[in-house]
Amino acid sequence: MHPRTTSHLALWKEGRTRFTNLLDKLSEADLRKKLVPGPNSIGFLLRHIGDVELLFAKNVFGLAGVQVYASTVAKGRDTGEWTDLAVLKTYVRESAEVLERAIAAQSDADWDMVIETKEFGRKTKAEALGRISTHTAYHAGQIGMVLKYGA
C-alpha cells in the first residue's frame, strides 16, 4: 500500500473507534431513544452512518461494485424502522469493511484528486476523508449523548 494511503487509512480507523466503542454498549431498547425534541433515534443514526460510509466508498472513492440504498438519506427523516440491533451492527461493520477497501485502493496521487458532490462541493479526496471521518465521529457523539440523556 502507498505511504499516504497507509497513513490516511490508519487515521480513519482510529477516528472510527469513537463510534465502534459505543456499539458494545447498545441494547435493542436503546435504538428507539432520542434526545427530545431531537428527531433522530440511535437506530436511525446507526443506519445513517452506514449509509453515508457506503456512499463515500462508491461515489467519492470510486470503489466498483458497491451496492447501496441509503434509506436514511432517501427518506430524509427518522421513520422509526431501524430497531434491529443485530442487523444494524452487521450493516455498520460491512460499511466499514467496504469503506476500508475503498480507502486502501487509493494511490498516493489520488489523495490530491478533486471530486465534486452536491452535498459538499469540491474537495480533494484527502479532504473528503476528513469529511467522512468527522461525520461518523459527529454522529457517534450524538449517540453517546442520547445513550446518557435520552429517553
The domain ranges of the chain are 3-149
Q: What angle do CA 66, 39, 95 make, to 5 degrees?
A: 20
C-beta of residue 12 within 8 angstroms of C-beta of residue 115: no
Cell numbers found for residue 39 = 428527531
| pTM recorded for the entire structure | 0.96
C-beta of residue 125 within 8 angstroms of C-beta of residue 110: yes
Q: What is the pLDDT at residue 119?
A: 84
Cell numbers found for residue 83 = 430497531
Q: Which fold has domain 3-149?
A: Four Helix Bundle (Hemerythrin (Met), subunit A) (1.20.120)
> Mind listing the pLDDT tens digit for each residue in 33-91?
999 899 999 999 999 999 999 999 999 999 999 999 999 999 999 999 999 999 999 99
Q: Is the peptide bond before 3 cis (omega within 30 degrees of 0)?
A: no
